[in-house]
Amino acid sequence: MITAHRNVWNAVKTWTADVTVQQRKTPQITRSQHIILCRQEYLRHFYGYRPAERRPKRSAQNDMDADWSKGFCDKIKHMQRFFGFPPSGELTKDTLEVMRKPRCGLSDVEPFGDTVRWTNRILSYRLPIPASQVRKVFRDAWKVWSNVTPIKFRKRGRREADIAISFYSGDHQDGTPFDGKQGILAHAFLPGIGIGGDVHFDAEEDWSTNSTGYNLFTVAVHEFGHAIGLAHSPDPGAVMYPVSKHVFKCFPGISPDFDSLFSNKPPPKTPDKCDPDLSFDAVTELQQEVHFFKDRFMWRKHPLFEETRITLTNSLWPSSIPSNLDAGYMNIEKNFNLMLVFCFSGSQYWKLTQLQLEEGFPKNITNLGFPSRVKSVDAALHIRFKRYTVFFTGHECWRYDELWEVLDARPSLIEQEWPGVPAPIDAAVYFDGTKSPFFDAVQVNYSTLYLPSKPYAIVRTV
């Protein structure tokens, strides 16, 4: 355990040692019991599910069957719609997986109305924890919100404050007990008098200021959002997404969240991989994975795993890479010890070495040899064993020699070089193997052309 992690956790334990709380351990339960508890308690706590009262006691199996009432299935559908899953009303693998993830303790259907607002723009908060490092974490978290809202925050000592920040374990007499390590990490109360606006953190979690354990700053920014009146967002890229993301590099989605307090602007929309009209900005291979880019999101597909998961682009890629990529490809020919990645957006391109941006980039694509009439690259297909890359622009394609770093003087027509592939091209990717498994989880139209022992996938979404 590194120093930063230990200092934060010791500060929390030092303060909570002076508070009388109920200590509890997470019981060891079987998988079937875990599923039963998850589906009942999770839906009760976060979606308002109420099981039938005074139900006759029956066997465990009969109890499980009895739970599949219309009301229960409706709550499952509600949850599935919130997280962007098909609303089947069944406990699918994706649904159960979200139920098991650590998250915020506030309900996803909390009634945030126009009346749940602070009446003043200067709020005070009280933090009875002496450790300077913990105080700095919370001060920085408040600054995130003061930078994008008209609200200002002031720390108070022993005086009464609008918002009290506390660490508790187990049942701490507010009606929403903590559940030990993992599970519910923290919760907050809506703006109001008394406990309104207060923020509680689970003292049993392994809090840290880095990627070890749960990042206190990340969770604090989320909970402070509740304290000023924000509800949960179904957008996995938003600050107010209820499931913990461990490490936070930046804060997309803050302004749209807060704008909802003052306007009727719709929240940012997360792409749905099952949307038949879905299109991609770019697709590229990265080692053994294929990455699909759409706005500030990406899907990662590995040939050994069935599922294709969505995440934020900047969770892996540098924040200097724009969210609206046009094309990208990986090249490891020049130095087998280094992974080079090239990303294109508009008239510029970025060069990454081991996913770190090289000095002097971005550069204009004319540096690659493109004439000034070419304003952007639609797709890039790196053919590794031949050491060249094909760039697609409109109805044309250009061959770029990676060894000599020379672009062909004249382009070819796509319909001549790639018969049967309609132009323009949205994305292209090279990958190893004898079939194309990467596109099964995302609905696109594509053609696969087999050249000597290696397949190519040319993607044109419609």
What phi and psi values does residue 392 have, to the nearest 5 degrees?
Answer: -105, 125
User: Which secondary-structure segment (H or E) carries 118?
Assistant: none
Q: Rounded to whole angstroms, how far apart are CA atoms 388 and 211?
A: 39
Residue 273 · residue 240 · CB < 8 Å: no
User: Does 63 show up as a binding residue in the annotation?
Assistant: no
User: Does 380 show up as a binding residue in the annotation?
Assistant: yes
Residue 423 · residue 412 · CB < 8 Å: no
User: Does 196 show up as a binding residue in the annotation?
Assistant: yes
Active site residue 396: no
Q: Which of 204, 223, 285, 402 is catalytic?
A: 223
| Nearest by Cα to 108 from 85, 79, 131 | 79
Interaxial angle between packed helices 216-227 and 132-146, expressed in degrees from 0 to 180 and rounded to the nearest 10: 50
Residue 384 · residue 430 · CB < 8 Å: yes
User: Does 198 show up as a binding residue in the annotation?
Assistant: yes
Interaxial angle between packed helices 31-47 and 70-82, expressed in degrees from 0 to 180 and rounded to the nearest 10: 80
User: Does 99 show up as a binding residue in the annotation?
Assistant: no
User: Does 291 show up as a binding residue in the annotation?
Assistant: no
User: Does 302 show up as a binding residue in the annotation?
Assistant: no
User: Does 226 show up as a binding residue in the annotation?
Assistant: yes
Residue 311 · residue 236 · CB < 8 Å: yes
| Cis omega (within 30 of 0) for bond into 87 | no
Interaxial angle between packed helices 93-100 and 70-82, expressed in degrees from 0 to 180 and rounded to the nearest 10: 80
User: Does 48 show up as a binding residue in the annotation?
Assistant: no
User: Does 179 show up as a binding residue in the annotation?
Assistant: yes
User: Does 378 show up as a binding residue in the annotation?
Assistant: no
User: Does 79 show up as a binding residue in the annotation?
Assistant: no
User: Does 5 show up as a binding residue in the annotation?
Assistant: no
User: Does 408 show up as a binding residue in the annotation?
Assistant: no
Q: Rounded to whole angstroms, how far apart are CA atoms 326 and 346?
A: 7
How many CB atoms are closer than 10 A to CB 198? 22
User: Does 274 show up as a binding residue in the annotation?
Assistant: no
How many CB atoms are closer than 10 A to CB 191? 20
User: Does 275 show up as a binding residue in the annotation?
Assistant: no
User: Does 272 show up as a binding residue in the annotation?
Assistant: no
User: Does 240 show up as a binding residue in the annotation?
Assistant: yes
The residue whose two tokens read 């027509």 is 413
Per DSSP, 89 falls in state S
**Could you tell me how far CA 51 lies from the centroid of its own chain?**
32
DSSP-H helix ranges across 67-171:
70-82, 93-100, 132-146
User: Does 358 show up as a binding residue in the annotation?
Assistant: no
| Nearest by Cα to 68 from 98, 36, 42, 45 | 36
Report CA torsion sign: 315, 316, 322, 327: negative
Using DSSP bridges, classify how beta strands 207-208 and 214-215 pair: parallel, antiparallel or unpaired.
Answer: parallel
**Binding site for Ca(2+), residues?**
162, 179-180, 196, 198, 202, 205, 281, 326, 380, 426
Please give the annotated binding residues, written as ranges. Answer: 104, 162, 172, 174, 179-180, 187, 196, 198, 200, 202, 205, 222, 226, 232, 240, 281, 326, 380, 426
Residues that constitute the known binding site for Zn(2+): 104, 172, 174, 187, 200, 222, 226, 232, 240
Active site residues: 223
